[in-house]
Amino acid sequence: MKSNAICIVLALVSAGAASAAVPMLLEERVAREEEKLILDHPIAGIENSLWFDYRVDVIEAQKELSSDLRRASDIEDKRDAWEEYAVELKNEREDYIHDMAKRGFRQGSVTIID
């Protein structure tokens, strides 16, 4: 019984190591970079309908990615899902920034040059 438990643990560990060795898809890396750019505070601190729509759109994109990845049957499906997710995040962020700029509120940025 004890040896069976050890075999199961070793199988799980080796399975985890095998999945960890799989390189991340380029599309996933791009999407992960887009995730870092998700706005977590409204522009100018103004919580208006544009801000709430942006947040809902981000959450919806995340849910859609999860669903698409669950249904993916091959590597191309996964690539498509990650690519679509990255594009959606970028478009939603740009649309929100653009719409707020039209209302007179600009997205601030700081550039540090060494």
Q: What is the pLDDT of residues 58-74, one digit of tens each?
A: 999 999 999 999 999 99
* Contacts of residue 97, Cβ cutoff 8 Å, sequence gap at least 6: 43, 107
Predicted confidence (pLDDT) at residue 24 exceeds the cutoff of 60: yes
Q: What's the pLDDT score for residue 10? A: 46
Average pLDDT over residues 25-37: 95
Question: What pLDDT is attached to residue 2?
Answer: 52
The confidence score (pLDDT) of residue 114 equals 79
Task: Please report the pLDDT score of residue 99 as a whole number.
Answer: 96
- SS3 of the chain: helix, strand, coil, percent, to 5: 75, 0, 25
The predicted pLDDT at position 5 comes to 47
